Amino acid sequence: MGPEPKETRVPIPTKPLRRLGFLTIGLFDGANPRPGHESTLEIIQLGEELGYDSAWVRHRHLQYGISSPVAILAAASQRTSRIDLGTAVIPLGWENPLRLAEDLATVDILSGGRLNPGLSVGPPMQWEHVKSALYPDTADVEDFSYERVARLLAAIRGEQISDFEGTQGFEVFSKRVEPHSPGLSGRMWYGGGSLRSARWAAEHGMNFLTSNVVRSEDSQSFEAIQASHVAAYRAARPDGRVSQGLVVIPTDGATPEQRAKYEAYVAKRTPRTSAPQGPQQMLFARDHIGTSDEIAGQLYANPAFREVDEVAFALPFSFEHEDYVQILTDIATKLGPALGWAPNW
């Protein structure tokens, strides 16, 4: 007999998964939008019941997905008591930083300090088609750089916004954004896909969200690029938090019909992962599908995953409510434990 085959070992992460989160886009029917919004709130409630540490909502303007994540999370804050609530991400090009600071602080207070706002910069999507409606008088001078984030951070921290403070008649005015939520500034996240954004987030005291899309820089390997972003962030801010967002679809509890649908979904999206896409040369991560043990092996082989201890796994687009229930349940009861995670209650 020949020698016994060597045992193949999956690479292990540097640390067990400490915080488990999920992300939803919150789809709805344009002719009847309430059921879709209600489904999103029910999914967040289910996440809390299953022990997830965080629930995140994605921002979509002029589409059939959540256009007002702050409003959704305000509602979710009244249906939950423990789970953290985040945005991944709010594109600041659509927002007035001062007004957004008021909304974020209000929801943070309503939630008891559970809000984790994630942000990004750059011109709004479909800019040429929406600028006359969004900024009819100022489109040519709007600043969509990191400075827009800096303005929001200053307002969140309670820095002076107005040069007037005091009483005028019966009304009392503050020089800072009210309400002020003292802990919110430590829970601000930047969603970035480049080395520059990773470093900027760290240098400005923000946490870092890295997702399944990165800019092609010095490599054609998504995993290597993402790992370089995590390393750059950690080098500049060792005590900062990094959360990774990837699409995972465990099939442990799926029906044969669900598995077939999931596999077709992944097959349709896989070709875009073969090469950089678009004028900005963006690279997409492959979706992870299979049993929880199979997905755990795929994740452990990812060098970026091995350097994070928080995740916000993205739920696939366009699935049904019962599909999300199955996926969330499998992640919490099978995949999470396979990654070293356990509910913190």
Which CATH number characterizes residue 222's domain? Answer: 3.20.20.30
Q: Which residues of the chain have pLDDT under 50?
A: 1, 4-11
pLDDT for 340 equals: 95
The domain total for the chain is 1
pLDDT for 14 equals: 56
Is 14 contained in some domain?
A: no
Q: Which domain holds residue 132?
A: 19-338
Is 177 contained in some domain?
A: yes
pLDDT for 13 equals: 54
Residue 281, sorted as left (phi over 0), alpha (psi -120 to 50) or beta, turns out to be left
pLDDT for 280 equals: 82
Pairwise CA distance, residues 18 & 335, whole Å? 13
Is 188 contained in some domain?
A: yes
Phi–psi pair at 60, nearest 5 degrees: -135, 120
Is 345 contained in some domain?
A: no
Is 183 contained in some domain?
A: yes
25 in Cβ contact with 37 (< 8 Å): no
According to DSSP, residue 282 is labeled E
pLDDT for 197 equals: 97
Is 178 contained in some domain?
A: yes
pLDDT per position as a tens digit, 132-174 = 999 999 999 999 999 999 999 999 999 999 999 999 999 999 9
pLDDT per position as a tens digit, 43-67 = 999 999 999 999 999 999 999 999 9
Is 38 contained in some domain?
A: yes
Pairwise CA distance, residues 27 & 133, whole Å? 24
pLDDT for 204 equals: 98
Q: Residue 106 burial (CB < 10 Å; 0-12/13-18/19+)?
A: middle
Is 90 contained in some domain?
A: yes
